[in-house]
Amino acid sequence: MTIVVGYVPTPEGEAALTQAIAEARKTDTTLLVINSSKGDALVDNRYAQDSEIQSIEDRLATQGIKHVIKQPVRGHDAAAEVLDAAEEHNAELIVIGLRRRTPVGKLIMGSVSQRILLEADCPVLAVKAG
Amino acid sequence: MSSLATSLKGRSELGVALLLGAAGVVVFLDANGLVTPYSKSDPVGPKTVPFIVAALLIVCAVMLAINVLRGGKGEAEGGEDVDLSHPADWKTVLPLAGAFVLNILLIDWAGWVISGTVLFWGSVLALGSRHYIRDGIISVALSLLTFYGFYLGLGIALPAGLLEGIL
Amino acid sequence: MDVWSSLMDGFATALTPLNFMYAVIGVILGTAVGVLPGLGPAMTVALLLPVTYALEPTSAFIMFAGIYYGGMYGGSTTSILLNTPGESSSVVTAIEGNKMAKAGRAAQALATAAIGSFVAGTIGTALLAVCAPIVVKFAVSLGAPSYFAIMILALLAVTAVLGSSRLRGFASLGLGLAIGLVGIDSVTGQRRLTFGQPLLADGLDIVVVAVAIFAVGEALWVAAHLRRTPLHAIPVGQPWMGKSDWKRSWKPWLRGTAFGFPFGALPAGGAEIPTFLSYVTEKRLSKHPEEFGKGAIEGVAGPEAANNAAAAGTLTPMLALGLPTNATAAVMLAAFTSYGIQPGPQLFSSQGPLVWALIASLFIGNFLLLIINLPLAPLWAKLLQLPRPYLYAGILFFATLGAYSVNLQAFDLMILLVLGALGFMMRRFGLPVLPLILGVILGPRIEGQLRKTLQLSAGDPAGLWSEPIAVVVYIIVAIILAWPFALKLIKRNRPGKKPLLPANSGAADYSD
């Protein structure tokens, strides 16, 4: 069994990661960190750079948590990547970060979190940046 | 890189030498076919410069071939959005060229609005976007906008084609 | 009329509300397109050529002035924020600029680049206004033999000095000259390289050639090699500089300008050498040499100024002699030609008001760049997140539209595709594109001067060196051509010494 966390280098993403670490420690399960990009633009600030990944790696290692970090760039959106990973690894829990969005913003952009909440087969823990 | 890939790469650059040589021969034959009565007012005539250009091309072709066979290699051009670590992605380039050709075939008959839509939509698709409907709307909007923009703003009448009378 | 009053008339023309608006549009378009990944100033001008057809020449050139400097500035923004210089002239800026940005000083790096560009651009344009008429005065006294020699020099210098391989440069030049031959020979009326195709009789439209090589070829090339891993743009606020930044910047700006302008004005100067020289100089003179390599502001200020001053310098031979020495100038020259205006010494007398309006709008464009771009920098950085499919599809779409609207014939689009494929192949195999474009533009004019020269001397080849200037120019040509061989000889006689030039210089190709 695994816990899947959707990570982005933002306060919401950090909050989700912190929460996921706590959950993984509680149940001693493997943590699967997903940080994806569609890879269709030169710049994607939601895609973590090597140094950031390294620091997460260090953080998880020092806390003694079994973990896998994946950074798929396959042209799929973040929701699809997280759902895919959850299904593939038979996840017991998905952890995501929530961002405040205006109703209009949500209408235009759609919502990654909403799709995960609706389509996931396992419990989803949604965290807000505090 | 494996030695096979390296030698293939070297061989493909010989194609450039071949192209240069062929261009040189074509320029030479074309110039040779010109008839020029000697004229005092134009001692150089229309042949001289083509002959020089042909010679330049052929010399470059030969030297490039020698250079490549000796292991010389042209440096592929880098850029902001260019990653040379993977080989050319023909699955992107060929459909792009296809969309381009389709536009050429369609433009006079079907008109710019249709051919331009095909061009943009096809290119976006070739480049990996999968929002078919959104892309379609953008393509139509862009084609219509440029059609009317050129007509009203610049006074250039792009062909209306099949939509003649509607637009 | 003296320079000052001509220039004031130029300002009067350029500052009419309509023309001023075109300058603003030019600066905004130029910067926006310059920031977009993969689009340089030459491509920007080429893509926007058709838009200007409906405008009268003066307005069109005022817009080009904005695009020219705007595109240049846009390029440096990306090299600072992403460390991915789009052109060789902004490679040096990226070295310190990106380090500064990573250290949280992106705002200062962008500010010193913008203000430095403004200072260098303004001084450079002033030098252009002073120098161009002097060059013209000198140039009108030249006859066909000297012209022929100078054009040969420009062609050979660009081909032999720039780029990493002289051989590939000459190959590109040969292709360009061959393309330039297509069409009816103006003296005898015979068709050359038309293959019986009547649509080729008028020759290939230079706009179509430029769009094919710079836009279609580039878009296809980039599409084949898209970067797989997304990059981070360093977040940026409003650019600003503190007191110490100003203190450390102003001298590098001026020194950079001094390096840039003369190199830009030389037939093969380009912007790479002066930016590099400026960087080295600032490193040596700096009171903070330890900061170099970690984000020294001098290392951004100097090279950026040098880059822009070189851009202004490039316009001197372009306007005064009709000799383009970089890609953007070549495309602008193509635009001149499509308006039926022949750049060269006669331009200042026949189209005086147009030229001075262009020079005045370079001043205005520079100023606009500063006041528009400092506040807009965060917005420009957002452009980098534009999804690629739309970006490159857009380039192809507008390239097609542009090439088609020249003559409204589908045949031109076929030429566009064929030459676009050629541009792709050239990028793949390291053939520089600049010699090709110069060959297309200058080839027919060189042939014209050659025939005129030998006509005057009744077929005696000695006519070619009948003017002292021509002789001097041929000596320079000989030196440029013989240089790598001489170097090789020196190296052979002094074994064990390291090569004098870095591996990527023109000499490398012959030394292996």
Q: How many CA atoms within 13 Å lie on the side-chain side of C217? A: 28
**pLDDT at position C501:** 41
Q: Residue C231 is nearest to which of A38, A40, A42, comparing CB atoms?
A: A42
Q: Please determine, for residue B47, whether its predicted confidence score (pLDDT) is greater than 90.
A: no
Cα nearest neighbour of A39 on chain C: C230
Structure tokens, C346? 């006669």
Quick check: is B82 in a domain?
no
Q: Which residues of B touch A42 (CB under 8 A)?
A: 80-81
Smallest Cα–Cα separation from C395: which of B159, B127, B137, B113?
B127
Residue whose pair of structure tokens reads 């050979």 in the numeric block: C156
Rounded distance between C-alpha atoms, residue C35 and residue C33, angstroms:
5
Would an 8 Å CB–CB cutoff place C228 in contact with chain A? Answer: yes
Structure tokens, C344? 């060269």
Summarize pLDDT for C356-403 with one digit per residue, the tens: 998 999 999 889 988 887 888 888 878 888 888 888 899 899 899 988
**pLDDT at position C268:** 66
- DSSP string computed for B55-116: HHHHHHHHHHHHHHHTT--PPPP--TTB-TTS---HHHHHHHHHHHHHHHHHHHHH-HHHHH
Beta bridge partners of A68: A32
Q: Please determine, for residue A106, whether its predicted confidence score (pLDDT) is greater than 70.
A: no
Contacting chains of C (3 CB pairs or more, <8 Å) are A, B
Exposed/middle/buried for residue B39 (C-beta within 10 Å: 0-12, 13-18, 19+): exposed
Is C174 in Cβ contact with B36 (below 8 Å)? no
Summarize pLDDT for A75-100 with one digit per residue, the tens: 788 888 989 999 999 999 999 988 87
Rounded distance between C-alpha atoms, residue C432 and residue B74, angstroms:
10
Q: Which of B75-89, C208-222, C421-435 has the lowest mean pLDDT?
A: B75-89
Structure tokens, B49? 């410069």
Q: Closest approach of chain C CAs to the CA of B110, in angstroms? A: 12
Q: Which of A7-21, C47-61, C446-460 has the lowest mean pLDDT?
A: C47-61
User: What is the arithmetic mean of pLDDT over C15-19?
Assistant: 89
**pLDDT at position C497:** 43
Q: Does residue B63 sit in the same domain as residue B7?
A: yes
Cα nearest neighbour of C226 on chain A: A42
Summarize pLDDT for C278-297 with one digit per residue, the tens: 999 998 988 888 888 888 99
Q: Best of B80, B86, B127, B130 to disrupt the A interface by mutation (most A CBs within 10 Å)?
A: B130
Q: Please determine, for residue C505, whether its predicted confidence score (pLDDT) is greater than 50.
A: no
Quick check: is B75 in a domain?
no
Is A42 in Cβ contact with B81 (below 8 Å)? yes
Band (C271; pLDDT cuts 50, 70, 90): confident
Quick check: is B30 in a domain?
yes
**pLDDT at position C180:** 92
How does DSSP classify residue C504? T
Summarize pLDDT for C296-355 with one digit per residue, the tens: 999 999 999 999 999 889 888 888 888 888 888 888 888 887 787 877 888 888 888 888
Interface of A with C (CB under 8 A): 37-45, 47, 49, 73
Number of domains in chain B: 2
Is C389 in Cβ contact with A42 (below 8 Å)? no
Q: Please determine, for residue B3, whether its predicted confidence score (pLDDT) is greater than 60.
A: no
Report percent pLDDT > 70 for chain C: 93
Q: Does residue B94 sit in the same domain as residue B158?
A: yes
Q: Does residue B94 sit in the same domain as residue B153?
A: yes
**pLDDT at position C323:** 86
Summarize pLDDT for C53-73 with one digit per residue, the tens: 777 888 888 888 888 888 888
Quick check: is B26 in a domain?
yes
State in words which class domain A2-128 has: alpha beta
Q: Does residue B94 sit in the same domain as residue B123?
A: yes
Would an 8 Å CB–CB cutoff place A50 in contact with chain B? Answer: no
Q: Residue C222 is nearest to which of B35, B82, B90, comparing CB atoms?
A: B82
Q: Does residue B106 sit in the same domain as residue B57?
A: no
Domain boundaries, given as residue ranges, for chain A = 2-128
Is A47 in Cβ contact with C229 (below 8 Å)? yes
Question: Is the model more confident about C99 or about B57?
Answer: B57
Q: Please determine, for residue C503, whether its predicted confidence score (pLDDT) is greater than 70.
A: no
Is B24 in Cβ contact with C82 (below 8 Å)? no
**pLDDT at position C1:** 55
Quick check: is B77 in a domain?
no
In this structure, what are the phi and psi dihedrals at residue A128, rounded to the nearest 5 degrees?
-105, 150
Is A43 in Cβ contact with C233 (below 8 Å)? yes
Rounded distance between C-alpha atoms, residue C454 and residue C457, angstroms:
5
Summarize pLDDT for B57-98 with one digit per residue, the tens: 999 999 999 988 888 788 887 776 777 877 888 888 999 999
Q: Please determine, for residue B31, whether its predicted confidence score (pLDDT) is greater than 80.
A: yes
Residue B97 lies in domain: 90-163
Cβ-Cβ pairs closer than 8 A, A with B, add up to: 6
Q: Residue B75 is nearest to which of C177, C221, C430, comparing CB atoms?
A: C430
Question: Is the model more confident about C220 or about C345?
Answer: C220
